[in-house]
Structure 1
Amino acid sequence: MKYQTRKKALILLADGTIFYGKAVGNKEGSAFGEVCFNTGMTGYQEIFTDPSYFGQIMVATNAHIGNYGVNKDEVESEGIKIAGLVVRNFSYHYSREAADDSLENFLNKNNLLAISDVDTRALVSYIRDNGAMNAVISTEVDNIEGLKKQLAEVPDMHGLELASKVSTKEPYFFGNENAKYKISALDLGIKKNILRRLSERDCYIKVFPYDATFSEMEAFGPDGFFISNGPGDPEPLSNAIQVVKEILEKEVPMFGICLGHQILALANGISTYKMHHGHRGINHPIMNLVTGKGEITSQNHGFAINREQAEAHPDIEITHMHLNDHTASGIRMKNKPAFSVQYHPEASPGPHDASYLFDQFIESIEKHKLQTA
């Protein structure tokens, strides 16, 4: 058995609660971030590389992580974005034929600290009862007071702007330049599979940094605008909110996912709030209030929009609702071609029940073209 003498490790929560475990491999040190959990049984590599998880320590609820290795095509960005990893059982050996490497090597290449042998059932139960909070994972098990002092200096996720940490620095293109549709996408932490889904629908996408202006995005001559997912609190993103306001003034088709959904709400004067422990998993039930059909969806967010304000807004219709807690999971504007959802229709990982939303975006573009021809 590999690493029989692995170093002791712990996870210390902001309220002083401690759970003990062991370091994965021989890596030592500490990692800080907001602790959260994902209930997905598979898709750990996609989760670890999702920019929306930037600044978060991920607790995997599935008991075995690493058993199917990693594959170079199963990433959602360039490198791991989570701040640290907590698991029950870490698999140093994998048995999937399609795997390129072990998860251990993948974590080491990305310099990520991970700890295992933690009672994740107890930890997740604690987070569900007490809420997501800042935490540190560390091999410095004899330095509790020092870790507490360092942890106290970590900024709270509420009010924290993180899109700038994961957004592209320069604009880039994705897809076939001779495609039928041109899309300007604002990168607040965009997942690669979103770009793939748009490209599959004959779109050529120009991806812009988080601080790009509307005029810069409009200069591409797009048929539609896309506002991406991403990490952190949406309220500090004043530039993105202004960009969406200008898109709405021009009445050009717009589609937003997750953070993009929250930005659309804020652009309409609807507030957002930090959730108790968020939605993170690949089996969240959604009701499409327009069609009456249910969807099983992939979700990853710690903020939500104010449902009461959305219901009272004269120009907003709530289109989707989360069946567990009745949060507003989708909205559309009654007077403009703009809509958004608080989950991931591109999946990766997760089910494809909601992939029709990309088709809906294309239909909106086609309709707008006919109206402006």
Structure 2
Amino acid sequence: MALTDVFISPAGAGDNSGSSIANALPAISSGDWSTNIEGLDRADKRFVFLEGTYNVATKLTFTGSAPTDEQPNQWVGAKSDGTILRPKFDETGLRLDLTNYPLFVCSTNVQMIDTEENTYYKCLSFENTNSSYSQGSIIEQSTADIDQQMWFGCNFKATPGNANSEVMIANATNYHTCVFEATTKNFDRVLDVRGNSRIDNCRIIGGGAGSGSGDGDGLTTTSQTAQIRDCVITNCHGKGVHMTSTSVKTTINVSNCTIVNNGGDGIDTDQDVAMSSLLTSNGEANIIFGNGGVGLRADANDDRQAGFQLLAMGDNSGGNFTDMDSYEDMIDVIAVTTADFFDYASLDYRIKRGSTLYKLFGDRNMGAIQNEDFEFASVS
């Protein structure tokens, strides 16, 4: 069997059946989700959202048949001519290029979509612009709906107005090439990672590294095992990566990440409680620079929480390490300065060609952002 395409635009077109671009189904009616989209069957359907702005005020909850493991649902962004989008970052590598993206914008303090299992999302942008935003996630991700979800090339952005708010939750979910951004300094965390989630090639951005309300962490892990790879975590007023679980079964792998310009520690694996015999957290080839706390903090009762061996570090206000003891001696530290970055003050963390970090591994740079020679023809 094959997926059946349903073409969707903000206002719709033609007979509104969704059978073609000329007959696109209308997603929006009177500033909110239309009954046309609410009644859609999702099993074995690919929703092709055409570029444009989709302004909504309430949560989208479907009434038609749900996807299954054998009849999945896919949401994809597309140009006005139906060309399916592929994600790409802007020149700096920090944010997605949202040209031609369908932009879902919610103006009220609600979660805008009730997501489902067996659903896959590609090249879509979701933003909550309400200044009183206090939700735990822009998109609802309940435990019952997380089986077989994948987000690829998606943008998530909020204007938090509550110290307990979060931009998104990763609940046993995979995110690849996504951006999570809080535009204020009034939130608990940008991304809450739970239940064996994997976060690859993503960007986690706060509203500024100075003092703010709430913990202000970039990414926290609260349960199970989290894989954090090739990510940039920056500009948060709290910690970059923070383990907050009280379980001895929790561990993280943070590798090839750029964790810079945050108000607290770069990576904190102490779990906020006095524990021993924890699983070893680990990670390699991270850049941990310019953070307001310690570069890497281990658990005081179990130094193994910092099983890292090669890091690029510098200018962390509390020093590079805390509670590492002898394990600190195992780590090969490459010294970093702002001169290693293309334009650190402007959050442009591309590595200059003359830096030790450039092509350190032969075909890739240290940290998350990769750039080729031709991008720096005038930069030595």
Scaled to the shorter chain, the TM-score interval is under 0.3
Q: Compute the TM-score of the two structures, normalised by the length of structure 2.
A: 0.27
Please state which structure has a larger fraction of its residues in strand: 2
Please state which structure has a larger fraction of its residues in helix: 1
Q: Compute the TM-score of the two structures, normalised by the length of structure 1.
A: 0.28
